[in-house]
C-alpha cells in the first residue's frame, strides 16, 4: 500500500462522490474516470488519497465543483468549507517537521 499523499482530500472526494448524485445515483469509478480522463487505478488512488499528482485530484474535483459552488452561492457553504479544511489539513501535514 502506498503512503497517503492527500488523505483528507481523498476522503473528501470519496464523500462528495456519494453526496452528489448524477442521474439519481453516485458516479461509479468508471464514470469518474471517463469524465476526469484518468485511469481507473489513478481514480482509486485519488479516492484513497494516494495519488502523487495534483492533476488527478483536480480532475476528479472539477466534476463536482459546479455543484459545490452553487451550494456556496445559495448560502450553504458547508461542503466548500469542508473542501478548504481538507486542503489545509493535507498542507499542514506535508509541512509539519
Tens digit of pLDDT for each residue in 82-92?
Answer: 999 999 999 99
pTM (predicted TM-score): 0.88
Intervals of the chain under pLDDT 50: none
* Phi and psi, residue 20, nearest 5°: -100, 100
For residue 75, the model assigns a pLDDT of: 96
Which residues have C-beta within 8 Å of that of residue 51, sequence separation ≥ 6? 5, 6, 10, 42, 45, 57
Amino acid at each position: 500500500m502506498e503512503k497517503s499523499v492527500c488523505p483528507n482530500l481523498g476522503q473528501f472526494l470519496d464523500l462528495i462522490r456519494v453526496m452528489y448524485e448524477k442521474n439519481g445515483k453516485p458516479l461509479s469509478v468508471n464514470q469518474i474516470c471517463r469524465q476526469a480522463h484518468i485511469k481507473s487505478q489513478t481514480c482509486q488512488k485519488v479516492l484513497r488519497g494516494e495519488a502523487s499528482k495534483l492533476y488527478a485530484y483536480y480532475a476528479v474535483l472539477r466534476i463536482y465543483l459546479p455543484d459545490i459552488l452553487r451550494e456556496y452561492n445559495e448560502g450553504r457553504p458547508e461542503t466548500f468549507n469542508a473542501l478548504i479544511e481538507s486542503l489545509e489539513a493535507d498542507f499542514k501535514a506535508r509541512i509539519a517537521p
